[in-house]
Structure 1
Amino acid sequence: MRRRPRWRSFVPLYLALLPLALVLGVVEYYPAISGIWYSFFDWNPGGESEFIGVDNYTKMFGDQIWWQSFRVLGAIFVFAIASWLFPLLAAELLISLRSARAAFVFRTLLIAPMAFPGVVTALVWSFMYHPNDGVINTMLTSLGLGDLTQNWLGDPSIALIALLFVGFPFVAGLQFLIFYSTLQNIPKEVFEAADLDGVGRLRRFWSIDLPLMATQVRLLIVLTIINTLQYGFVAYLLTAGGPDNATMVPVLRMLNVAFQGQDWGYAAALSTTLFLLTLVFSAIAALAGKRDSISNVRGRK
């Protein structure tokens, strides 16, 4: 009996994936490719567009607001890395609980805020920062510290700092889940052996916990870079890049160029630049993950 070619058994699966591929092509890939294409034009949506080569990219190098937005982005990235201290501390404290029931309750309480829409969190913090009726200024006044009240989002010298603290203490997030799941996967025998050897809690963190989280930390760094490049949602809702461009980030600069300046070709060039940067760091994340997987497999052998 003639055997049916193996590839034919996969044909129905590929056909079932075809509608999804078409939707992704129309919704995801076509806008990205068209944006790259129109970045070389003086783009006039709905009208004639003149090809101008790399003029939009040349213009980008002289855009001071664009480069200032990357300096703001650098501050956001550094703060994002520093804020890992809180989810890492929460994970370490939670993994030390002896009661499984208490660990479950606290874990649920820490993760539950992730279900809240980001826009709700941003608007709540906007109310807290309100210069007249905001919770922070009201509390400072009631404590007799009225001299410390500020126009938190309206002062260029502190607006970025105020924006960075939105979501404090930063526990309910991906970082906490990754740190906690990594600590959970460490065999209990390792911790028991450390206790028998008289290893202190701080020494155990530096000598055992942190080295075993090295792979996850590298991945988180790359993901943080990618997320930082795409940062803009909270800044748009709370400050719109102001005051005096103190909280301007690349995504907001691109939107302002497109919708306020009506310079769609230049906006496409800025978008393409961000896309390429994100693509590079995504590739780095994929390669790092693949290398770690290969290392783990070799280690097991």
Structure 2
Amino acid sequence: MATTAGTPVAAPPAEAPPGGPRRRARISWAAYLALLPLLVVLALFQYYPALNGIVRSFWDWNPGQVSTFVGLDNYAKMMDDAIWWRSFRNLGYIFVFGVVSWVIPLVAAELLITLRSQRAQFVYRTLLIVPMAFPGVVTALVWSFMYHPNNGVINRALTAIGLESWTQNWVGDPSYALWSLLFIGFPFIAGLPFLIFYSTLQNIPREIFEAAALDGVGRIRRFWTIDLPLMARQVRLLFFLAVIGTLQYGFMAYIVTSGGPDNSTMVPVLRMINVAFQGQDWGYAATLSTTLFVFTLVLSAVVVFVRRSDPASTNVRGLR
């Protein structure tokens, strides 16, 4: 504020900088318009099919023909579907086995991070993740050939070392089919868990490891007291992603076993496909699809809730 002859005079208002509120408003509207085509495509190819499936679950749906409204009859039928509920039991085995198998990529990441040579880390890391580039269908077909009861590599190897009594019809026997399916991809290093574990360990400051070594902290103790606590959020994220991914599991089972033998490898996605394309019961298939969608949606909401209630993420948001 300036003064003239002892009388205060207000300073002239500062000019608004270029790119003020009006310009920002124009940019915001432009962004909304740019997003509009994407929202239209999502509504047409994602939201509409999902909502249509929910509506069709209350009908005896016959595409191209007359459909009859049946209310909750399809859902009552689902409650008595033994194969459908057995498929969820199989999913439980798949989920537990998948979580336990994280031990191998975790050990690999721990061993890799101990290498002092950055070049050696790069070479080994590349060799470990190259299998991720292989198409899933190729992996499924290769393992199918390995499991072949007569000419498969596994049975031939067992016979060659004198363990012929151990040979099995690995994917043709209900007692072994599910376990054989679970072991596809062994040793499970080339995947998302390894990348997350390794990147987390790589971002831990070296000074922490050096200080722990100076304090006489051994390798195993360092894992339990330093490495694992720092990976807690990543492990929790992997856990929930595994839950959601397991609910959508079906590709490998479809290629290798088609849900057999005797439904021993049946999973919800395969049951839904079989009801739709083999049984031609489209309304009931929509019911199964809707139920699976609700399960996935609820678990996704749990993921969001847990991440928002995470104290660490709350502190980060408070610093912004």
| TM-score class, shorter | over 0.9
Does 286-295 or 22-31 show the bigger shift? 286-295
User: 1:96 and 1:127 mapped to 2: Cα distance?
Assistant: 37
Of 284, 290, 294, 2:313 maps to 294
1:43-82 equivalence runs, <5 A: 43-82=61-100
User: 2:42 and 2:245 mapped to 1: Cα distance?
Assistant: 21
Aligned residue in 2 for 1:133: 151
Percent identity over paired residues: 69
Aligned-residue RMSD, C-alpha: 1.7
Aligned residue in 2 for 1:247: 265
Aligned residue in 1 for 2:40: 22
Is the contact made by 1:219 and 1:288 (CA closer than 8 Å) also made in structure 2? no
Structure with higher Rg: it is 2
How far residue 295 of structure 1 moved from its aligned partner, in angstroms, is: 3.3
User: 2:219 and 2:99 mapped to 1: Cα distance?
Assistant: 23
The two structures have a TM-score, normalised by structure 1, of 0.96
How far residue 131 of structure 1 moved from its aligned partner, in angstroms, is: 0.7
Structure 1 moving runs of 4+ over 6 Å = 298-301
1:215-294 equivalence runs, <5 A: 215-292=233-310, 294=313
User: 1:294 and 1:115 mapped to 2: Cα distance?
Assistant: 33
Aligned residue in 1 for 2:170: 152
User: 1:300 and 1:190 mapped to 2: Cα distance?
Assistant: 24
Is the contact made by 1:72 and 1:249 (CA closer than 8 Å) also made in structure 2? yes
Distance 1:45 1:13, change over 3 A: same
How far residue 287 of structure 1 moved from its aligned partner, in angstroms, is: 2.5
User: 1:50 and 1:214 mapped to 2: Cα distance?
Assistant: 51
Q: Which has the higher contact order (CA 8 A, sep 6+)?
A: 1
**Partner amino acid, structure 2, of 1:224:** A
Is the contact made by 1:152 and 1:159 (CA closer than 8 Å) also made in structure 2? yes
User: 1:48 and 1:285 mapped to 2: Cα distance?
Assistant: 41
Aligned residue in 2 for 1:109: 127
SS of structure 1 residue aligned to 2:22: coil
How far residue 232 of structure 1 moved from its aligned partner, in angstroms, is: 0.5
**Partner amino acid, structure 2, of 1:233:** F
Identify unmatched segments of 5+ residues in structure 2: 1-14
Of 177, 182, 185, 2:195 maps to 177
Aligned residue in 1 for 2:9: none
SS of structure 2 residue aligned to 1:4: helix
Aligned residue in 2 for 1:120: 138
Of 217, 221, 225, 1:207 maps to 225
Identify unmatched segments of 5+ residues in structure 1: none
SS of structure 2 residue aligned to 1:272: helix
Of 50, 67, 85, 1:32 maps to 50
The two structures have a TM-score, normalised by structure 2, of 0.90
